Structure 1
Amino acid sequence: MPISPNQGSTGGGTIVTITGTNLGGATAVHFGTKTATITANTPTSVTVVSPSGSGTVPVTVTTPGGTSNPLSFYYVGAPFKSSISPVSGVTAGGNTVTINGTGLTTATAVHFGAATATPTVVNDGQLTVAVPAGTGPGPVSVSVTTAGGTNNGLSYTYVDAPTVTTLNPNSGPASGGTVVTITGTNLSSTQSVLFGATPAPFTVLSDTTISVVTPPTPDGAPGPATVTVTTTGGVATADFTYLAGPGI
Protein backbone atom coordinates (compact mmCIF):
# COMPACT_ATOMS: atom_id res chain seq x y z
CA MET A 1 0.00 0.00 0.00
CA PRO A 2 2.07 2.98 -1.23
CA ILE A 3 1.73 6.53 0.10
CA SER A 4 2.61 9.58 -1.98
CA PRO A 5 4.16 11.83 -0.99
CA ASN A 6 5.52 10.17 2.12
CA GLN A 7 6.63 13.45 3.69
CA GLY A 8 5.13 16.86 4.32
CA SER A 9 5.03 19.98 6.44
CA THR A 10 4.86 19.82 10.22
CA GLY A 11 2.06 22.33 9.88
CA GLY A 12 -0.06 19.86 7.93
CA GLY A 13 -1.93 20.63 4.74
CA THR A 14 -0.08 18.20 2.46
CA ILE A 15 -2.30 16.40 -0.03
CA VAL A 16 -1.46 12.69 0.32
CA THR A 17 -2.73 9.77 -1.78
CA ILE A 18 -2.72 6.25 -0.37
CA THR A 19 -3.18 3.40 -2.86
CA GLY A 20 -4.01 -0.23 -2.26
CA THR A 21 -6.96 -2.65 -2.36
CA ASN A 22 -10.34 -2.76 -0.66
CA LEU A 23 -10.11 0.90 0.32
CA GLY A 24 -13.65 1.83 -0.70
CA GLY A 25 -15.86 3.35 1.96
CA ALA A 26 -12.91 4.51 4.06
CA THR A 27 -14.17 5.95 7.32
CA ALA A 28 -10.90 7.27 8.74
CA VAL A 29 -7.24 7.81 7.93
CA HIS A 30 -4.95 8.28 10.90
CA PHE A 31 -1.53 9.97 10.95
CA GLY A 32 -0.31 8.68 14.26
CA THR A 33 -3.06 9.62 16.69
CA LYS A 34 -4.47 12.38 14.50
CA THR A 35 -7.21 12.04 11.92
CA ALA A 36 -6.70 13.31 8.38
CA THR A 37 -9.41 14.90 6.24
CA ILE A 38 -10.54 12.56 3.44
CA THR A 39 -11.07 14.41 0.15
CA ALA A 40 -11.48 11.49 -2.29
CA ASN A 41 -11.99 7.75 -2.03
CA THR A 42 -12.14 4.82 -4.47
CA PRO A 43 -11.71 1.07 -4.00
CA THR A 44 -8.02 1.48 -4.77
CA SER A 45 -7.11 4.89 -3.30
CA VAL A 46 -7.77 7.39 -0.57
CA THR A 47 -6.74 11.05 -0.84
CA VAL A 48 -6.40 13.06 2.35
CA VAL A 49 -5.07 16.31 3.73
CA SER A 50 -2.44 15.59 6.35
CA PRO A 51 -2.92 16.95 9.87
CA SER A 52 -0.12 18.75 11.69
CA GLY A 53 2.53 16.62 13.33
CA SER A 54 6.20 15.95 13.87
CA GLY A 55 8.71 13.19 13.37
CA THR A 56 7.74 9.91 11.73
CA VAL A 57 4.18 8.64 12.21
CA PRO A 58 2.29 5.51 11.08
CA VAL A 59 -0.54 6.07 8.59
CA THR A 60 -3.50 3.66 8.56
CA VAL A 61 -6.74 3.49 6.64
CA THR A 62 -9.92 2.27 8.33
CA THR A 63 -12.81 0.85 6.30
CA PRO A 64 -15.86 -1.22 7.26
CA GLY A 65 -13.59 -4.23 6.70
CA GLY A 66 -11.04 -3.17 9.32
CA THR A 67 -7.80 -1.20 9.59
CA SER A 68 -4.89 -1.49 7.18
CA ASN A 69 -1.25 -2.14 7.86
CA PRO A 70 0.65 1.08 8.71
CA LEU A 71 2.82 3.14 6.34
CA SER A 72 5.38 5.70 7.44
CA PHE A 73 4.91 9.44 6.89
CA TYR A 74 7.72 11.87 7.67
CA TYR A 75 7.03 15.37 8.93
CA VAL A 76 9.50 17.98 7.71
CA GLY A 77 10.02 21.37 9.35
CA ALA A 78 9.94 24.61 7.38
CA PRO A 79 13.31 25.61 5.90
CA PHE A 80 15.50 28.25 7.50
CA LYS A 81 17.67 30.43 5.27
CA SER A 82 20.68 32.22 6.70
CA SER A 83 22.41 33.76 3.67
CA ILE A 84 22.46 34.19 -0.10
CA SER A 85 25.58 34.85 -2.18
CA PRO A 86 25.99 36.85 -4.29
CA VAL A 87 23.20 39.24 -3.28
CA SER A 88 22.87 40.92 -6.68
CA GLY A 89 23.26 40.21 -10.39
CA VAL A 90 22.19 41.04 -13.90
CA THR A 91 18.53 41.69 -14.66
CA ALA A 92 18.78 39.17 -17.48
CA GLY A 93 19.44 36.45 -14.89
CA GLY A 94 21.46 33.31 -15.53
CA ASN A 95 24.07 33.69 -12.81
CA THR A 96 24.26 31.11 -10.03
CA VAL A 97 23.65 31.94 -6.38
CA THR A 98 24.22 29.85 -3.27
CA ILE A 99 21.67 29.76 -0.45
CA ASN A 100 22.74 28.52 2.98
CA GLY A 101 20.45 27.48 5.83
CA THR A 102 18.86 24.37 7.29
CA GLY A 103 16.12 22.01 6.18
CA LEU A 104 16.91 22.46 2.49
CA THR A 105 17.14 18.78 1.49
CA THR A 106 13.64 18.64 0.02
CA ALA A 107 13.77 22.04 -1.73
CA THR A 108 11.77 22.00 -4.96
CA ALA A 109 11.64 25.69 -5.86
CA VAL A 110 13.29 29.03 -5.20
CA HIS A 111 11.20 32.14 -5.85
CA PHE A 112 12.78 35.44 -6.86
CA GLY A 113 9.84 37.77 -6.54
CA ALA A 114 7.24 36.36 -8.95
CA ALA A 115 9.80 34.27 -10.89
CA THR A 116 10.55 30.66 -9.95
CA ALA A 117 13.67 28.55 -10.47
CA THR A 118 14.47 24.91 -9.73
CA PRO A 119 17.41 24.52 -7.32
CA THR A 120 20.20 21.98 -7.07
CA VAL A 121 20.40 20.65 -3.50
CA VAL A 122 24.00 20.30 -2.30
CA ASN A 123 23.07 19.12 1.19
CA ASP A 124 20.61 19.93 3.96
CA GLY A 125 22.42 23.20 4.61
CA GLN A 126 23.06 24.45 1.10
CA LEU A 127 21.58 24.71 -2.38
CA THR A 128 22.50 26.45 -5.61
CA VAL A 129 20.15 27.93 -8.18
CA ALA A 130 20.37 29.76 -11.50
CA VAL A 131 18.69 33.13 -11.09
CA PRO A 132 15.69 33.64 -13.40
CA ALA A 133 15.34 36.85 -15.39
CA GLY A 134 13.92 39.82 -13.51
CA THR A 135 11.28 42.25 -14.70
CA GLY A 136 13.59 45.19 -14.05
CA PRO A 137 16.29 46.50 -11.73
CA GLY A 138 15.70 46.53 -7.99
CA PRO A 139 15.37 44.21 -4.99
CA VAL A 140 13.06 41.18 -4.82
CA SER A 141 12.28 38.79 -1.97
CA VAL A 142 13.73 35.29 -2.14
CA SER A 143 11.85 32.29 -0.74
CA VAL A 144 12.58 28.57 -0.72
CA THR A 145 9.84 25.92 -0.93
CA THR A 146 10.46 22.48 0.59
CA ALA A 147 8.29 19.61 1.75
CA GLY A 148 8.19 21.45 5.07
CA GLY A 149 6.80 24.65 3.65
CA THR A 150 8.01 27.99 2.32
CA ASN A 151 10.29 30.41 4.14
CA ASN A 152 11.04 34.01 3.20
CA GLY A 153 13.53 36.47 4.63
CA LEU A 154 16.22 36.96 2.00
CA SER A 155 16.57 39.62 -0.68
CA TYR A 156 18.26 39.70 -4.09
CA THR A 157 18.85 42.83 -6.17
CA TYR A 158 18.63 42.85 -9.96
CA VAL A 159 21.05 45.28 -11.59
CA ASP A 160 20.87 46.50 -15.18
CA ALA A 161 23.94 46.01 -17.37
CA PRO A 162 26.24 49.04 -17.69
CA THR A 163 26.84 51.10 -20.82
CA VAL A 164 29.78 53.33 -21.71
CA THR A 165 29.05 56.19 -24.08
CA THR A 166 32.19 58.35 -23.97
CA LEU A 167 35.77 58.53 -22.71
CA ASN A 168 37.11 62.05 -22.22
CA PRO A 169 39.84 62.18 -23.31
CA ASN A 170 39.95 58.98 -25.36
CA SER A 171 43.73 59.02 -25.78
CA GLY A 172 46.84 59.67 -23.73
CA PRO A 173 50.53 58.85 -23.39
CA ALA A 174 51.71 55.25 -23.15
CA SER A 175 53.34 56.15 -19.84
CA GLY A 176 49.88 56.43 -18.28
CA GLY A 177 48.71 58.98 -15.75
CA THR A 178 45.92 60.48 -17.84
CA VAL A 179 42.74 61.31 -15.89
CA VAL A 180 39.83 60.01 -17.98
CA THR A 181 36.15 60.65 -17.34
CA ILE A 182 33.98 57.69 -18.34
CA THR A 183 30.31 58.46 -18.88
CA GLY A 184 27.50 55.96 -19.40
CA THR A 185 24.70 54.33 -17.41
CA ASN A 186 24.39 51.92 -14.47
CA LEU A 187 27.96 52.56 -13.34
CA SER A 188 27.40 52.96 -9.60
CA SER A 189 28.27 49.32 -8.81
CA THR A 190 31.54 49.36 -10.78
CA GLN A 191 33.93 46.72 -9.49
CA SER A 192 36.88 47.19 -11.84
CA VAL A 193 38.16 49.15 -14.83
CA LEU A 194 40.75 47.56 -17.11
CA PHE A 195 42.85 49.16 -19.84
CA GLY A 196 43.64 46.09 -21.86
CA ALA A 197 44.46 43.59 -19.15
CA THR A 198 45.81 46.18 -16.69
CA PRO A 199 43.64 47.37 -13.78
CA ALA A 200 43.23 51.12 -13.40
CA PRO A 201 42.44 53.07 -10.20
CA PHE A 202 38.97 54.59 -10.41
CA THR A 203 36.43 56.61 -8.46
CA VAL A 204 32.70 56.29 -8.98
CA LEU A 205 31.29 59.82 -9.11
CA SER A 206 27.69 58.90 -9.90
CA ASP A 207 25.60 56.26 -11.64
CA THR A 208 26.62 57.86 -14.96
CA THR A 209 30.22 58.93 -14.33
CA ILE A 210 33.53 57.35 -13.32
CA SER A 211 36.90 59.04 -13.01
CA VAL A 212 39.87 56.82 -13.82
CA VAL A 213 43.64 57.23 -14.13
CA THR A 214 45.18 55.35 -17.04
CA PRO A 215 47.87 52.81 -16.18
CA PRO A 216 51.00 52.63 -18.35
CA THR A 217 51.08 50.07 -21.12
CA PRO A 218 52.85 46.85 -20.07
CA ASP A 219 55.65 47.31 -22.62
CA GLY A 220 55.65 51.10 -22.80
CA ALA A 221 54.54 50.98 -26.42
CA PRO A 222 51.69 53.03 -27.90
CA GLY A 223 48.57 51.52 -29.47
CA PRO A 224 44.86 50.83 -28.92
CA ALA A 225 43.49 49.42 -25.68
CA THR A 226 40.05 48.12 -24.84
CA VAL A 227 38.63 49.72 -21.72
CA THR A 228 36.48 47.23 -19.81
CA VAL A 229 34.14 48.42 -17.06
CA THR A 230 32.76 45.60 -14.88
CA THR A 231 29.79 46.12 -12.56
CA THR A 232 27.52 43.75 -10.66
CA GLY A 233 25.20 44.10 -13.66
CA GLY A 234 27.69 43.06 -16.33
CA VAL A 235 30.40 44.46 -18.57
CA ALA A 236 30.71 47.43 -20.93
CA THR A 237 33.65 48.31 -23.18
CA ALA A 238 35.10 51.31 -25.04
CA ASP A 239 38.27 52.13 -26.96
CA PHE A 240 41.26 54.15 -25.74
CA THR A 241 44.43 54.96 -27.69
CA TYR A 242 47.86 55.13 -26.09
CA LEU A 243 50.06 57.71 -27.85
CA ALA A 244 53.80 57.65 -28.46
CA GLY A 245 55.79 60.31 -26.67
CA PRO A 246 57.70 62.97 -28.64
CA GLY A 247 61.27 62.48 -29.67
CA ILE A 248 63.92 64.93 -30.89
Structure 2
Amino acid sequence: MPISPNQGSTGGGTTVTITGTNLTGTSAVHFGTKSATAVTNVSPTQVTAVSPSGSGSVGVTVTTPGGTSNPLSFFYVGAPFKSSLSPVSGSSAGGDTVTVNGTGLSTATSVAFGPNSATPTVVSDSQITAVVPAGSGGTVGVTVTTAGGSNNGLSFTYIDAPTIATVAPTAGAASGGTAVTITGTNLDSTEEVGFAGIPAPFTVINATTVSAVTPPGTAGAVDVTVTNAGGTATAGDSYTYVAGPGI
Protein backbone atom coordinates (compact mmCIF):
# COMPACT_ATOMS: atom_id res chain seq x y z
CA MET A 1 0.00 0.00 0.00
CA PRO A 2 2.07 3.00 -1.21
CA ILE A 3 1.68 6.62 -0.10
CA SER A 4 2.53 9.61 -2.28
CA PRO A 5 4.17 11.87 -1.43
CA ASN A 6 5.81 10.15 1.51
CA GLN A 7 7.11 13.36 3.03
CA GLY A 8 5.73 16.78 3.88
CA SER A 9 5.93 19.89 6.03
CA THR A 10 6.18 19.70 9.81
CA GLY A 11 3.36 22.22 9.82
CA GLY A 12 1.04 19.74 8.11
CA GLY A 13 -1.16 20.52 5.14
CA THR A 14 0.34 18.03 2.68
CA THR A 15 -2.25 16.22 0.56
CA VAL A 16 -1.27 12.57 0.25
CA THR A 17 -2.70 9.75 -1.84
CA ILE A 18 -2.81 6.26 -0.35
CA THR A 19 -3.22 3.34 -2.72
CA GLY A 20 -4.18 -0.17 -1.65
CA THR A 21 -7.06 -2.64 -1.55
CA ASN A 22 -10.39 -2.84 0.27
CA LEU A 23 -10.35 0.87 1.10
CA THR A 24 -14.09 1.34 0.65
CA GLY A 25 -15.69 2.89 3.71
CA THR A 26 -12.51 4.44 5.03
CA SER A 27 -13.42 6.20 8.27
CA ALA A 28 -10.04 7.56 9.36
CA VAL A 29 -6.43 8.06 8.35
CA HIS A 30 -3.84 8.50 11.10
CA PHE A 31 -0.32 9.94 10.94
CA GLY A 32 1.16 8.39 14.03
CA THR A 33 -1.36 9.23 16.75
CA LYS A 34 -2.84 12.23 14.93
CA SER A 35 -5.85 12.14 12.67
CA ALA A 36 -5.59 13.40 9.12
CA THR A 37 -8.11 15.93 7.81
CA ALA A 38 -10.06 16.07 4.57
CA VAL A 39 -10.11 12.29 4.21
CA THR A 40 -11.70 11.34 0.88
CA ASN A 41 -12.48 7.80 -0.25
CA VAL A 42 -11.75 8.16 -3.97
CA SER A 43 -12.27 4.50 -4.87
CA PRO A 44 -11.93 1.01 -3.40
CA THR A 45 -8.20 1.29 -4.08
CA GLN A 46 -7.47 4.94 -3.28
CA VAL A 47 -7.85 7.40 -0.42
CA THR A 48 -6.62 10.98 -0.10
CA ALA A 49 -5.97 12.84 3.14
CA VAL A 50 -4.28 16.00 4.42
CA SER A 51 -1.46 15.47 6.90
CA PRO A 52 -1.63 16.99 10.38
CA SER A 53 1.40 18.72 11.91
CA GLY A 54 4.16 16.48 13.18
CA SER A 55 7.86 15.70 13.25
CA GLY A 56 10.24 12.92 12.38
CA SER A 57 9.02 9.68 10.84
CA VAL A 58 5.51 8.39 11.59
CA GLY A 59 3.37 5.48 10.48
CA VAL A 60 0.29 6.20 8.38
CA THR A 61 -2.67 3.86 8.77
CA VAL A 62 -6.09 3.60 7.15
CA THR A 63 -9.15 2.46 9.13
CA THR A 64 -12.17 0.86 7.45
CA PRO A 65 -15.06 -1.30 8.73
CA GLY A 66 -12.72 -4.22 8.17
CA GLY A 67 -10.05 -2.92 10.55
CA THR A 68 -6.83 -0.89 10.44
CA SER A 69 -4.12 -1.32 7.83
CA ASN A 70 -0.45 -1.87 8.30
CA PRO A 71 1.50 1.42 8.71
CA LEU A 72 3.32 3.22 5.91
CA SER A 73 6.23 5.55 6.66
CA PHE A 74 5.74 9.30 6.26
CA PHE A 75 8.58 11.73 6.92
CA TYR A 76 8.08 15.23 8.27
CA VAL A 77 10.49 17.76 6.78
CA GLY A 78 11.31 21.19 8.26
CA ALA A 79 11.15 24.35 6.17
CA PRO A 80 14.38 25.16 4.29
CA PHE A 81 16.88 27.76 5.44
CA LYS A 82 18.80 29.82 2.90
CA SER A 83 22.10 31.38 3.93
CA SER A 84 23.46 32.77 0.65
CA LEU A 85 22.87 33.24 -3.07
CA SER A 86 25.58 33.62 -5.72
CA PRO A 87 25.67 35.53 -7.97
CA VAL A 88 23.16 38.08 -6.67
CA SER A 89 22.58 39.78 -10.03
CA GLY A 90 22.37 38.89 -13.70
CA SER A 91 20.81 39.56 -17.06
CA SER A 92 17.12 40.39 -17.43
CA ALA A 93 17.17 37.90 -20.30
CA GLY A 94 17.78 35.13 -17.78
CA GLY A 95 20.12 32.19 -18.29
CA ASP A 96 22.51 32.80 -15.39
CA THR A 97 23.11 29.82 -13.09
CA VAL A 98 22.85 30.70 -9.41
CA THR A 99 23.85 28.66 -6.38
CA VAL A 100 21.75 28.68 -3.21
CA ASN A 101 23.40 27.54 0.02
CA GLY A 102 21.53 26.66 3.20
CA THR A 103 19.99 23.65 4.95
CA GLY A 104 17.04 21.38 4.24
CA LEU A 105 17.37 21.85 0.47
CA SER A 106 17.46 18.20 -0.61
CA THR A 107 13.73 18.11 -1.40
CA ALA A 108 13.68 21.44 -3.27
CA THR A 109 11.12 21.47 -6.08
CA SER A 110 11.08 25.13 -7.08
CA VAL A 111 13.11 28.33 -6.92
CA ALA A 112 11.06 31.45 -7.63
CA PHE A 113 12.63 34.73 -8.72
CA GLY A 114 9.79 37.11 -8.04
CA PRO A 115 6.82 35.79 -10.07
CA ASN A 116 8.96 33.52 -12.27
CA SER A 117 9.96 30.02 -11.22
CA ALA A 118 12.79 27.66 -12.12
CA THR A 119 13.30 23.96 -11.42
CA PRO A 120 16.39 23.48 -9.25
CA THR A 121 19.15 20.91 -9.41
CA VAL A 122 19.83 19.44 -5.96
CA VAL A 123 23.55 19.16 -5.24
CA SER A 124 23.19 18.24 -1.58
CA ASP A 125 21.02 19.04 1.42
CA SER A 126 23.00 22.26 1.78
CA GLN A 127 23.19 23.37 -1.85
CA ILE A 128 21.06 23.68 -4.97
CA THR A 129 21.55 25.41 -8.31
CA ALA A 130 19.00 26.96 -10.65
CA VAL A 131 18.98 28.70 -14.02
CA VAL A 132 17.47 32.15 -13.61
CA PRO A 133 14.34 32.71 -15.74
CA ALA A 134 13.89 35.95 -17.67
CA GLY A 135 12.62 38.92 -15.67
CA SER A 136 12.28 42.68 -15.59
CA GLY A 137 15.05 45.01 -14.46
CA GLY A 138 15.07 45.45 -10.69
CA THR A 139 15.40 43.45 -7.49
CA VAL A 140 13.11 40.50 -6.70
CA GLY A 141 12.79 38.10 -3.80
CA VAL A 142 14.06 34.53 -4.16
CA THR A 143 11.86 31.78 -2.70
CA VAL A 144 12.85 28.13 -2.33
CA THR A 145 10.08 25.54 -1.97
CA THR A 146 10.75 22.09 -0.53
CA ALA A 147 8.66 19.29 0.93
CA GLY A 148 9.00 21.17 4.23
CA GLY A 149 7.58 24.42 2.94
CA SER A 150 8.85 27.67 1.46
CA ASN A 151 11.47 30.15 2.58
CA ASN A 152 12.46 33.52 1.18
CA GLY A 153 14.65 36.33 2.45
CA LEU A 154 17.27 36.48 -0.30
CA SER A 155 17.10 38.71 -3.36
CA PHE A 156 18.32 38.76 -6.95
CA THR A 157 18.74 41.85 -9.11
CA TYR A 158 17.85 41.73 -12.79
CA ILE A 159 20.06 44.05 -14.86
CA ASP A 160 18.93 45.30 -18.25
CA ALA A 161 21.49 45.24 -21.06
CA PRO A 162 23.04 48.60 -21.95
CA THR A 163 22.50 50.54 -25.15
CA ILE A 164 24.76 53.08 -26.86
CA ALA A 165 23.26 56.18 -28.46
CA THR A 166 26.27 58.43 -29.11
CA VAL A 167 30.06 58.42 -28.88
CA ALA A 168 31.78 61.82 -28.73
CA PRO A 169 34.20 62.75 -30.02
CA THR A 170 34.14 60.21 -32.81
CA ALA A 171 37.89 60.34 -33.52
CA GLY A 172 41.19 60.72 -31.73
CA ALA A 173 44.87 59.92 -31.75
CA ALA A 174 45.98 56.34 -32.33
CA SER A 175 48.29 56.79 -29.35
CA GLY A 176 45.21 56.84 -27.12
CA GLY A 177 44.47 59.16 -24.22
CA THR A 178 41.38 60.81 -25.71
CA ALA A 179 38.49 61.44 -23.29
CA VAL A 180 35.30 60.05 -24.83
CA THR A 181 31.72 60.47 -23.61
CA ILE A 182 29.31 57.63 -24.30
CA THR A 183 25.57 58.13 -23.89
CA GLY A 184 22.83 55.52 -23.88
CA THR A 185 20.71 53.59 -21.38
CA ASN A 186 21.39 51.31 -18.41
CA LEU A 187 24.96 52.58 -18.17
CA ASP A 188 25.04 52.95 -14.37
CA SER A 189 25.88 49.24 -14.02
CA THR A 190 28.72 49.33 -16.59
CA GLU A 191 31.48 46.82 -15.89
CA GLU A 192 33.67 47.38 -18.95
CA VAL A 193 34.14 49.79 -21.86
CA GLY A 194 36.09 48.59 -24.87
CA PHE A 195 37.58 50.09 -28.03
CA ALA A 196 38.20 47.38 -30.64
CA GLY A 197 37.95 44.88 -27.79
CA ILE A 198 40.62 46.59 -25.70
CA PRO A 199 39.41 47.57 -22.21
CA ALA A 200 39.50 51.28 -21.46
CA PRO A 201 39.53 53.15 -18.13
CA PHE A 202 36.04 54.51 -17.51
CA THR A 203 33.89 56.44 -15.04
CA VAL A 204 30.15 56.04 -14.67
CA ILE A 205 28.49 59.45 -14.64
CA ASN A 206 24.89 58.29 -14.39
CA ALA A 207 22.44 55.82 -15.96
CA THR A 208 22.77 57.49 -19.37
CA THR A 209 26.42 58.59 -19.45
CA VAL A 210 29.83 56.97 -19.16
CA SER A 211 33.19 58.70 -19.64
CA ALA A 212 36.15 56.68 -20.95
CA VAL A 213 39.76 57.29 -21.98
CA THR A 214 40.80 55.56 -25.19
CA PRO A 215 43.60 53.01 -25.04
CA PRO A 216 46.22 53.01 -27.83
CA GLY A 217 44.91 51.56 -31.09
CA THR A 218 45.51 51.03 -34.78
CA ALA A 219 44.50 53.73 -37.26
CA GLY A 220 41.00 53.18 -38.57
CA ALA A 221 37.38 52.83 -37.45
CA VAL A 222 36.70 50.52 -34.47
CA ASP A 223 33.74 49.24 -32.47
CA VAL A 224 32.94 50.73 -29.09
CA THR A 225 31.39 48.36 -26.55
CA VAL A 226 29.82 48.77 -23.14
CA THR A 227 29.27 45.69 -20.97
CA ASN A 228 27.31 45.05 -17.78
CA ALA A 229 25.82 41.94 -16.16
CA GLY A 230 22.87 42.24 -18.52
CA GLY A 231 24.89 42.02 -21.73
CA THR A 232 27.02 44.03 -24.16
CA ALA A 233 26.08 46.96 -26.38
CA THR A 234 28.14 47.51 -29.53
CA ALA A 235 28.38 50.69 -31.56
CA GLY A 236 30.00 49.47 -34.78
CA ASP A 237 32.83 51.57 -36.26
CA SER A 238 31.75 54.47 -34.07
CA TYR A 239 35.23 55.67 -33.16
CA THR A 240 38.16 56.29 -35.50
CA TYR A 241 41.80 56.12 -34.50
CA VAL A 242 43.82 58.70 -36.41
CA ALA A 243 47.51 58.10 -37.06
CA GLY A 244 49.91 60.84 -35.98
CA PRO A 245 51.77 62.92 -38.55
CA GLY A 246 55.15 61.90 -39.86
CA ILE A 247 57.86 64.08 -41.38
TM-score, normalised relative to structure 2: 0.94
Distance 2:15 2:86 in 1: 33
Whether the aligned pair in 2 keeps the contact of 1:29 and 1:59 (CA below 8 Å) is yes
Distance 1:104 1:154 in 2: 15
Kindly provide the amino acid, as one letter, of the partner of residue 119 in structure 1. P
Distance 2:129 2:224 in 1: 33
Distance 2:185 2:38 in 1: 58
Q: 1:232 aligns with which of 229, 234, 241?
A: 229
Whether the aligned pair in 2 keeps the contact of 1:112 and 1:132 (CA below 8 Å) is yes
Distance 2:112 2:71 in 1: 36
Structure 2 residue 106 is matched with structure 1 residue 111: no
Distance 2:39 2:73 in 1: 20
Distance 2:110 2:244 in 1: 60
Kindly provide the amino acid, as one letter, of the partner of residue 232 in structure 1. A
Structure 2 residue 53 is matched with structure 1 residue 52: yes
Q: Which runs of 5+ in 1 are unaligned?
A: none
**Over 3 Å off, 4+ runs:** none
> What's the CA shift for 1:152?
1.1
Structure 2 residue 8 is matched with structure 1 residue 8: yes
Describe the superposition over 1:131-173 as per-residue Cα deviations: whole angstroms up to 9, x where unpaired: 1222x32111110111111111111122221101111112111
Distance 1:122 1:229 in 2: 35
Distance 2:188 2:180 in 1: 17
1:84 alignment partner in structure 2: 85
- 1:182-221 matched pairs, under 5 angstroms: 182-217=182-217, 221=218
1:223 alignment partner in structure 2: 220
Whether the aligned pair in 2 keeps the contact of 1:188 and 1:207 (CA below 8 Å) is yes
> What's the CA shift for 1:94?
2.2
Query: Secondary structure of 1:145's match?
Result: strand
Describe the superposition over 1:154-202 as per-residue Cα deviations: whole angstroms up to 9, x where unpaired: 1112222110111111211111111111111100001111222321110
Distance 1:83 1:115 in 2: 19
Distance 1:196 1:125 in 2: 44
Distance 1:46 1:17 in 2: 6
> What's the CA shift for 1:22?
1.0
Distance 2:231 2:157 in 1: 13
Distance 1:38 1:234 in 2: 51
How much identity, in percent, do the aligned residues show?
A: 71
Describe the superposition over 1:2-42 as per-residue Cα deviations: whole angstroms up to 9, x where unpaired: 00000111110000011101111122211111111143113
1:175 alignment partner in structure 2: 175
Query: Secondary structure of 2:191's match?
Result: strand
Kindly provide the amino acid, as one letter, of the partner of residue 127 in structure 1. I
> What's the CA shift for 1:120?
1.5
How many residues are treated as equivalent by the alignment? 244
Whether the aligned pair in 2 keeps the contact of 1:141 and 1:153 (CA below 8 Å) is yes
Distance 1:17 1:216 in 2: 70
Describe the superposition over 1:73-100 as per-residue Cα deviations: whole angstroms up to 9, x where unpaired: 1111111111112222222222222211
Could you say what the CA RMSD is over the residues aligned between the two structures, in angstroms?
1.3
Distance 1:196 1:84 in 2: 35
TM-score, normalised relative to structure 1: 0.94
Kindly provide the amino acid, as one letter, of the partner of residue 185 in structure 1. T
1:24 alignment partner in structure 2: 24
Distance 2:172 2:77 in 1: 64
